[in-house]
């Protein structure tokens, strides 16, 4: 049986108690912490920057999976690395030189992630996979928590799993958006081995129960 990693997204946590909210999901079984950085430009919402990540770094040693929904991302990679990001995801749609950005992330000794929006075909990643450690398949349009899982993205996960395996490298595939106990299985069955979840963890009264239910639902 294959068990997917679970990365709670703090987007749905209580922003006024973020240190405690991070510690709570770590205690309750989170594998990674997913941190959504939004700039009000690449996506129509704003969240936080490297300052928040540096402050949270003191609350856990779990990997920080930082999802940059910002444009330009390049200018801020060093700041997020310094703040304590372990994985840095940039969007394939964000700039024409994302290849260089991925090289830059790796040169800092961080894991390089590429995030892909619902409207972008999987082939867009063909010529950068040699630089990628994690693919983050958006199963909603980025910007907000609590949206509905887009089933149209399931074949894309499957195609990307084939493309990733064909490289012979160990590439993780995460899904982000609308993941709950009903949708998890579709994502993992198609080849995802990491699941981001905001609402279906932080929107529940019992985080431990929510995390283990998601993990069970995603076992293949």
User: Which amino acids are annotated as binding site, given as ranges?
Assistant: 9, 34, 36, 67, 143-146, 176-178, 198-199
Please give the Cα distance from 43 to 144 (Å, whole number). 9
Residue positions in the annotated binding site for a divalent metal cation?
Answer: 34, 36, 67, 176
Q: Which does 178 bind (CB under 5 to 8 A by kind): ligand DX5, Zn ion, none?
A: ligand DX5
Q: Which of 6, 32, 67, 187 binds ligand DX5 (CB under 6 A)?
A: 67
Nearer to ligand DX5, 33 or 164 (CB): 33
Q: 32 Cβ partners below 8 Å, 6+ apart?
A: 5, 6, 7, 62, 63, 64, 65, 87, 194
Q: Rounded to whole angstroms, how far apart are CA atoms 8 and 131?
A: 25
Q: How far apart are CA 63 and CA 179, in angstroms?
A: 20
Smallest gap, in angstroms, from Cβ of residue 57 to Zn ion? 18
- According to CB under 5 A, which one of 31, 36, 65, 74 is a site residue for Zn ion? 36
Give 152: exposed, middle or buried? Use CB within 10 Å, 0-12, 13-18, 19+.
exposed
Asked if 176 touches Zn ion (CB under 5 A), the answer is yes
Q: Please state, as a whole number, how many other Cβ atoms lie within 10 Å of the Cβ of residue 211.
A: 21
Interface ranges with ligand DX5 (CB under 6 A) = 9, 11-12, 34, 36, 67, 140, 142-143, 145-147, 176-179, 196-200
Residues catalogued as catalytic? 36, 176
């Amino acid at each position: 049986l294959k068990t997917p990693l679970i990365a709670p997204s703090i987007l749905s946590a209580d922003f006024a108690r973020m240190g405690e909210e991070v510690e709570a999901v770590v205690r309750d079984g989170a594998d990674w912490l997913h941190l959504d950085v939004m700039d009000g430009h690449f996506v129509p919402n704003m969240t936080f920057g490297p300052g928040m990540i540096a402050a949270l770094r003191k609350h856990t040693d779990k990997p920080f999976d930082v999802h940059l929904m910002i444009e330009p991302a390049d200018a801020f990679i060093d700041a997020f690395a310094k703040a304590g990001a372990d994985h840095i995801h940039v969007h394939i749609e964000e700039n024409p030189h994302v290849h260089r950005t991925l090289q830059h992330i790796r040169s800092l000794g961080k894991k390089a992630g590429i995030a892909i929006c619902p409207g972008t075909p999987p082939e867009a990643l063909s010529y950068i996979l040699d630089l990628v450690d994690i693919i983050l398949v958006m199963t909603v349009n980025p910007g907000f928590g609590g949206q509905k899982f887009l089933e149209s993205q399931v074949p894309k996960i499957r195609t990307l799993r084939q493309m990733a395996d064909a490289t012979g490298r160990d590439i993780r595939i995460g899904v982000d958006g609308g993941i709950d106990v009903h949708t998890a299985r579709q994502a993992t069955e198609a080849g995802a081995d990491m699941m981001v979840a905001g609402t279906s963890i932080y929107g529940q009264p019992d985080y431990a129960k929510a995390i283990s239910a998601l993990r069970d639902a995603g076992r293949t």
